[in-house]
Amino acid sequence: MRKHTLFPALLLSVLMFTIHACNKGKEPAPTKEEEVLPQDIVELRDDQAKLAKIETGTIEKRTLNGTLKVSGIVAVAPQNMATVCMPLGGFVKSITVAPGTSVSKGQTLAILENQEFVDIQQNYLETKNKLEFAEADFLRHSELFKNDVYSQQNLQQVTADFKNLKAQARALEQKLAMIGINHSTLNEDNITRAVAVTSPISGFIKAVNINIGKFVAPTEVLFEIVNGDKLLLELTLFEKDADKVSTGQKIRFFINNETEQHEAIIYQTGRSVNADRTYKVYASVSGICRNVIPGMYVNAVIEASGIEVTALPSEAIVSFDDKDYIFAFGRNKTEGGKPFTEYRMIEVHKGVTDGGYSEITFPEGFDIKTARIVIKGAYSLLSAKKNAGEMSC
């Protein structure tokens, strides 16, 4: 019985030793490393490139006449806008206009009352009366001085008093003018506590900031007036387009997604670039546009003048995620005995388009003289890049 028990255990030990010895001589098969391509690289086999009809070419210099699509707002010149205040303030007695009302230059907008109005008129009339007496006294003493009847010192005192009163009268006249009272028609019988606030320009009321009974301070804005007869466009362009616009160029613009086309002419281009690398262009609106008012957003098209630029065929440029790209030849290589070509995806900025060619602005440091650009089949390369393997090996 003991012999039968030991035999199976001995047989199992021999079998396990044999398996271990066999496995010890075998090494695991090495795994093949896969090439990891950079994010901006697309590679194709030669047969795939022929199937996609890939063609490369060089970057050209061309004179393009095209258009620039820009945006901006409708504005008015500073001289066509007015902010109305009352230099001395006062209580609002009445208001004759409302927002949107058309007004003419000199039209009464409101009536204000203030005790200071009365005081200024009183001071002016008193000073005026004193000035008349002082002037007569000055003339009389001047004659007496000529006849050696009056001393020079007394004449100097009379002269000083006369000039002081004259200065006071002129200063009060200016104060009266500031509050809208004509000093030449003012007398003891027409002193008033109420003064009319008038419009300095013709236009329409943009804002009314007062109500009846309110006391307004001298610095408080009562009305805002805009003259919409001469409108402007304030357009925003990128700095790369600075050389494409000039004074006198025509602009076609649209508002509120309307199909009606309006026209404008550039009268001034920007003199500085903002922090976001944009600059302003200003144009005067041609004619009268009934439905165009200040503050509206506009889409405009500028007819760009012919200039020599770096250009590529328009089909060489592809768009992805609202950005423009081109593909440039990278290198030829061989993998597994098969020929491959690498193409580099490069972000660019697209400018004006004319006659099947588009202006291109390349990234800094890009060698435009030696670069070979994919001019046909660019969208096939983009498809290969997006689909990650659809055209890959």
- What are the extents of the domains in the chain? 41-62+309-387, 67-77+230-305, 82-113+198-226, 115-192
Fold of 82-113+198-226: OB fold (Dihydrolipoamide Acetyltransferase, E2P) (2.40.50)
User: CATH second-level architecture of 67-77+230-305?
Assistant: Beta Barrel (2.40)
- The H-or-E segment that residue 168 falls in is helix 152-178
Task: Locate 133 and state its tokens.
Answer: 């007496």
Which one, of 362, 354, 348, lies nearest residue 244 by Cα?
Answer: 354
List Cα–Cα distances, 60 to 63, 235, 309, 318, 346, in angstroms. Answer: 10, 30, 8, 18, 17
Torsion of CA 352, 353, 354, 355, to 10 degrees: 160
Q: Report, as an integer, the average pLDDT of 266-293.
A: 86
Strands (E) across 24-151 are located at 41-45, 55-57, 60-64, 67-76, 81-84, 90-95, 102-103, 108-113
Q: State pLDDT tens for residues 149-175.
A: 666 777 788 888 889 999 999 999 999
- The pTM score is 0.56
Question: Nearest Cα to 300, choosing from 350, 233, 360?
Answer: 233
Cα angle 364, 368, 371 (rounded to 5 degrees) comes to 115
Burial of 10 (0-12, 13-18, 19+ CB in 10 A): exposed
- Domain 41-62+309-387 CATH class label: mainly beta
Measured CA distances, 297 to 77, 127, 253, 256, 349 (Å)? 17, 56, 10, 7, 25
Higher pLDDT, residue 36 or 115: 115
| pLDDT of amino acid 259 | 75
Q: What is the mean pLDDT of residues 39-48?
A: 85
pLDDT average, residue stretch 194-220:
94
Average confidence (pLDDT) over 16-27: 47
Two domains, one topology: 41-62+309-387 and 82-113+198-226: no
To which H or E segment does residue 158 belong?
helix 152-178
Q: State how far the Cα of 205 lies from the Cα of 223, in Å rounded to an integer.
A: 7
**String of b and e for 65-74 (b: at least 16 CB within 10 Å)?**
ebebebebeb
Give the mean pLDDT of the chain: 83
Query: How far apart, in whole angstroms, are the C-alpha atoms of residue 303 and residue 93?
Result: 54
Predicted pLDDT at 150: 63
Q: Which residue has the tokens 């409101």?
A: 110
What local confidence, expressed as pLDDT, does residue 68 receive? 79
Residue carrying the six token digits 């075998």 = 26
393 contact partners, CB below 8 Å, separation of at least 6: 43, 45, 335, 338, 340
Residue written as token pair 């009272």 = 181
Structure tokens at 283: 């144009």
Question: Would you state the pLDDT for residue 99?
Answer: 93
The residue type of 333 is K
- For residue 119, how many C-alpha atoms fall within 13 Å in the half-sphere facing its CB? 4
Q: What is the pLDDT of residue 338?
A: 87
- Alpha-carbon distance of 209 to 109, in angstroms, equals 12
Q: Is the pLDDT of residue 95 over 90?
A: yes
Least confident of 9-18, 129-138, 186-195: 9-18
Residues 333/337/338/342 CA torsion (nearest 10 deg): -20
pLDDT per residue over 47-93, tens digit each? 888 888 899 999 988 887 777 788 899 998 888 899 999 999 999 99
Q: Supply 271's token pair.
A: 């003199």
Mean of pLDDT values over 7-31: 46
Block residue for tokens 């012919």? 306
